[in-house]
Amino acid sequence: MGDLGGIAIGITAQRRADEFIDALERRGATVWHAPTINIVPLADDQRLRAATEEVVATGVDIAAVTTGAGFRGWLAAAEGWGIADRLRATLSGARLYVRGPKAKGAVRGCGLTEEWSAPEESSRQLFAHLLAAGVRGKRVAVQLHGQPLPEHTEALREAGASVIELQPYRWQWPTDLDPAHRLVDGVLDGEVDALAFTSAPATANLLTLARERGRYERFVAALGKDVLCACVGPVTAAPLAEIGVPVVQPERQRLGALVKLLVAELGR
């Protein structure tokens, strides 16, 4: 492994942040932790409970699983309501389509088996495959991530599916944005060598903060030029790619692979 001594890396992650920070610090990096997103579980949400009870009561033909954390959160909420076994039994009779290895791992961890996994780990690919497989007349359960996916769920409805949406958590701004503001300033002041991103919403939120503070153009100009931008995968990189910021990505969309990439790019 290379040495990241003297290298300052900004990360915006909330989930698995401690693990990420520890891996970078063990390699000598100085980490600027500036969460730009907060994940709020919705285990007590009445809409989630009502949708889950509908799935259990009426059954579904197809289930689309978009995130491993969301699927586990959904099952955990069902456990609290005393219907987890019924939910697993219902899903065992459905065709399960998942958005990549993390969702696949969560499904298999619950004793279920997926029919297909999106190799690009993108919602676009997942729902395109569903539509191509045919959903007319089918009941489809869609496990959402931190926000609704109307561009995909409406396409399913237009194709003739009856769609039940289930949102186990939502994304919102952190209560304390001072670390994120300091990270933007650190980039502009030349104190940060790299930014490492693990979720698209967190990536987009950092750009939003820079815009709201009137520093967007200078901030974007520094990215990929003075500051290395490393993203865990293409979905996470999309907000940067859309504005022409060059990014580096590991071959495998995993946290450990991202750390190794940072060492390879910045190690001394």
The pLDDT value recorded for residue 184 is: 97
For 110-130, write each residue's pLDDT tens digit: 999 999 999 988 889 999 999
Verify that 51 and 147 share a domain, yes or no. Answer: yes
| Model confidence, pTM | 0.73
Q: Which residues contact 69 (CB under 8 A, 6 or more apart)?
A: 15, 39, 102, 106, 169
Q: Structurally, how many domains does the chain consist of?
A: 2
Final residue in a domain of this structure, among 138, 171, 204? 171
In a domain, 1, yes or no: no
pLDDT at 150 over 70: yes
How big is the chain by its Cα radius of gyration, in Å?
A: 20
**Contact between residue 106 and residue 71 where contact means Cβ atoms under 8 Å apart:** yes
Banded model confidence at residue 1, pLDDT cuts 50, 70, 90: very low
* Cβ neighbours around 229 below 10 Å, total: 22
Question: For all residues of the chain together, what is the average pLDDT?
Answer: 92
**Contact between residue 100 and residue 129 where contact means Cβ atoms under 8 Å apart:** no
In a domain, 216, yes or no: yes
Banded model confidence at residue 42, pLDDT cuts 50, 70, 90: confident
With pLDDT > 90 as the criterion, what percentage of the chain qualifies? 76
In a domain, 167, yes or no: yes
Verify that 54 and 22 share a domain, yes or no. Answer: no
Average pLDDT of the residues in 179-200 = 95
**Contact between residue 35 and residue 12 where contact means Cβ atoms under 8 Å apart:** yes
**Contact between residue 182 and residue 103 where contact means Cβ atoms under 8 Å apart:** no
Final residue in a domain of this structure, among 171, 200, 225? 171
Verify that 125 and 246 share a domain, yes or no. Answer: no
Average pLDDT of the residues in 43-62 = 93
**Contact between residue 183 and residue 10 where contact means Cβ atoms under 8 Å apart:** yes
Banded model confidence at residue 268, pLDDT cuts 50, 70, 90: low
Q: How far apart are CA 127 and CA 156, in angstroms?
A: 8
The pLDDT value recorded for residue 82 is: 94
With pLDDT > 70 as the criterion, what percentage of the chain qualifies? 99
Banded model confidence at residue 2, pLDDT cuts 50, 70, 90: low
Verify that 131 and 45 share a domain, yes or no. Answer: yes
pLDDT at 250 over 60: yes
Verify that 251 and 180 share a domain, yes or no. Answer: yes
For 24-34, write each residue's pLDDT tens digit: 999 999 999 99
164 or 67, higher pLDDT: 164
Verify that 143 and 124 share a domain, yes or no. Answer: yes
179 or 42, higher pLDDT: 179
Verify that 125 and 238 share a domain, yes or no. Answer: no
Q: Buried b vs exposed e over 162-199: b needs ≥16 C-beta within 10 Å?
A: ebbbbbbbbbeebeeeeebbbbbebbbeeebbbbbbbb
Average pLDDT of the residues in 150-167 = 96
Final residue in a domain of this structure, among 140, 171, 202? 171
> In this predicted structure, which of 35-39, 62-66, 205-209 has the lowest mean pLDDT?
35-39
Q: Are strands 38-41 and 169-172 parallel, antiparallel or unpaired?
A: antiparallel
Verify that 103 and 207 share a domain, yes or no. Answer: no
Residue 77's domain comprises 41-171
Encoded tokens for 158: 């237009």
Verify that 133 and 236 share a domain, yes or no. Answer: no
The CATH number of residue 246's host domain is: 3.40.50.10090
